[in-house]
Structure 1
Amino acid sequence: MAEQQDRQDLVDQIGGDVLAAGVGLLLPIPGVGVLTERAVRRVRAETERRRSVALKAAERVSGMTREEIGERIGHDPRFLSLVTRVLHAAGMNGHDGTLKAMGVALGRAAADPGRVDEAELVLTVLSDLTEHHARVLLLLSADPPAISGTALVWTMHLLEVSADLPTRVVSLLVATLVARGLAEATTGFGGGNVYSITTLGRDVLAVLQEYVID
């Protein structure tokens, strides 16, 4: 019964107004004034907007209405986890491109239930990725620039130079991609690390490229 109610709650969220869960708890705190109430309304509005971004992408890709996607949850409990991930990520990730990419993964699974497991994996790795992660992933998907006709491999230094981002930021982005299984680090000639994109990274990149990468 509890699981059935959870599915119905998600159906209601998708089919109607999607509100930021728990935000209203801020209002009863003693001393909360008009300014805080306005801030809460803005948080709610922004969360609704983000969730709408993802769900609109899911509608477009699946060819289904939001209500039909909601009904799919009611008939197939496997979608409960997928939609929960999307709605949660929308509250945490403000990058529209990533949210749209998550919506694409959800929409593909809604249209073809055989892709549910694939969507689970994609949503897991997409949840906190930004356009900067996508930029580095795109670099790793291409051959490194050659110097004097000599083919190179992707080293951290070469990525830092090519990504046009602060050095410290690039190292953190690469570490995240490796941790997510989207890139791998191996020991190259001379003992230094070289980096390459994984098969999973290419799959995720294919989803991201439509929305995140110019």
Structure 2
Amino acid sequence: MFISFEGIDGSGKSTQARRLADRLRGMGHGVVLTREPGGSPGAEEIRKLVLEGDPDRWSAETEILLFTAARRDHLERTIQPALEAGQIVICDRFADSTRMYQGISRGDLRGTVDALHELMIGRDPDLTVLIDMDPEKGLSRAKARQTAEERFEDFGLELQRRMRAGFLALAEEFAPRFAVIDGDAAPEVVAEAVFAAVEARLP
């Protein structure tokens, strides 16, 4: 089973992905916890290029190519081998983030993202957990981390608002594979809601 976590910056999705991985491992499942961009040596190198530096470092078109290249390497070297070995793959972000950040929020490029995705990736997760969060609260959380990877946070609150609206629209467009979870609740409550959504779809 292939599970992705999506949400705006600071939504808590990374924490919830780790919690889910730990819980499933405790149940005896083989689990690979990974992330995007990254998740394989080549993709981690591309991660540094796209998440660090000035917000205007890359155009949206260039970002789409970089993220797709990273995702292809990640799919070949990490995701597909794990799935073929019968493991559960939990990925912190996948193609839906590119559909949002580069495809919609930074220009009208959704068609380009989808065409490249179909050509080079060819699959979506079995389940996408969307942690829905108030954009102002999420951005405040994200900026408080004070890491070098703040290029997208530096685009500001308006981008986060467009992102949230876009993710909720995606959840309607791809309703069968999405589970929308209220990220404003306590982390333990969020974790239980996430597990319930996953448990219902486990093979």
With normalisation by structure 1, the TM-score equals: 0.22
- Higher strand proportion (structure 1 or 2): 2
* Bigger relative contact order (CA 8 A; separation at least 6): 2
With normalisation by structure 2, the TM-score equals: 0.23
Larger radius of gyration: 1
